[in-house]
Amino acid sequence: MMIPHSRPSIGQEEIDAVTAVLRSGQVVQGRHVAAFEEAVAAHVGVRGGIATSSGLAALHLSLLALDVGEGDEVVIPAFVCSALWNAVRFVRAVPVFADIRRETCTIDCRDVKRRLTKKTKAIIVPHMFGLSGDIRELIALGVPVIEDCAQSLGSVYEGQKTGSFGALSVFSFYATKVICTGEGGMVAGNNKDLLKKIEDLRDYDEKDDGRVHYNFKMTEMQAAMGLAQLKKLPSFLARRRALARRYSEALAAYPVLLPVCPDNRDHIYFRYLIRTQRAEEIIEAGLRGPVAYRRPVFKPLHHDQGNAALPETDAAFREAVSIPLYPALSDDEAEVILRDLQRLLGAPPGRK
């Protein structure tokens, strides 16, 4: 038996929605894509959304819309997936890495500030593992912010959804994300001109302005699935929070750092991270089962690129372990995970 690190929740509703699209014969850029764009924008609380083929495509188009190009600098964290680095390189800009905050693993505003130069054209702020970054402080730096909400759909900062603060925000609906369309993404925002530009860049067909365009469109099947998933988002988030509460209670007595959530925000626990000196051991044990523990980030981006000193990023990479947590996880599986983890962590101090 192996409990996977992640697993999508796909039910009859998604199967019916996609089947209906297939029967209709209208498989690209139709009413489902438009409805999904509207539904995500309404959920986030912004004026519009442009659906894309992936989160990476959404990042790429956002940088293009903000006129980020050759020689420009874009500040990003290194404790994140390489989609950010790839997007910045696609537009021939230079990724500048900033460190993260120890407590939240989100980009550290003070370190971002130190790394701003005349060439800084944008900051990409991923709301990591389901928790908002320090978005107000980051926007106050005066550089356009792209919020990366690939892991934070539905999470809230000071009463407002993540994705409603930045110049633009991006989402991913990849198989393992908060909601899933297989592959898929979106750019959302309030600035109609930027959204129009992104809509134009997304599709190359019948364009005669001499500019380069892309094919980053979403299909009707994906959008129909996305609409069905979005309806389930409240129950997905409730399940995630209930599991996180259970984990935190069960692990409270153990010598590990548990996820924290500052008072002014809500955590959706896209990932449940613990910090421990035994991270390596636990991840190794996970290869044999019964629970697939993972490093929350494959490899910090600065380990391959440049030589920025990022002590908190390195510490998180050494100490953080992601424990399986997703809506499709049963109570019995959660019990197996907790027993296994408690065994790996040893008896808590003060207990015989």
- Residue 259 binds to ligand PLP (criterion: CB under 6 A): no
Query: Which stretch, 41-49, 144-152, 243-251, 316-324, contacts ligand PLP (CB under 6 A)?
Result: 144-152
Distances in Å between the Cα of 12 and the Cα atoms of 16, 27, 181 are 6, 20, 14
Q: Determine the Cα–Cα distance for residues 97 and 115; give it in Å rounded to an integer.
A: 8
Query: Which stretch, 41-49, 60-68, 78-86, 288-296, contacts ligand PLP (CB under 6 A)?
Result: 78-86
Three-state DSSP at 165 gives coil
Tell me the residue nearest to ligand PLP as measured from the CB: 55
* Residue 54 CB, nearest approach to ligand PLP (Å): 4
Specify the residue, 105 or 251, whose C-beta has the smaller distance to ligand PLP: 105
* Residue 87 CB, nearest approach to ligand PLP (Å): 8
- Residue 52 binds to ligand PLP (criterion: CB under 6 A): no
- Residue 55 binds to ligand PLP (criterion: CB under 6 A): yes
- Eight-state DSSP code of residue 88: H
CA nearest neighbour of 112 among 90, 82, 145, 87: 145
- Residue 75 binds to ligand PLP (criterion: CB under 6 A): no
- Eight-state DSSP code of residue 224: H
Query: Which stretch, 53-61, 109-117, 206-214, 295-303, contacts ligand PLP (CB under 6 A)?
Result: 53-61
- Give CA 300 to chain center in angstroms: 16
- Residue 172 binds to ligand PLP (criterion: CB under 6 A): yes
* Residue 151 CB, nearest approach to ligand PLP (Å): 5
- Residue 257 is encoded by which pair of tokens? 């750092």
Are 45 and 244 in contact by the 8 Å Cβ rule? The answer is no
- Residue 83 binds to ligand PLP (criterion: CB under 6 A): yes
**What is the strand order of the sheet 48-52 is part of?**
48-52, 185-189, 168-172, 145-148, 120-126, 73-77, 94-98
Residues 177-206 that bind ligand PLP (CB under 6 A): 185
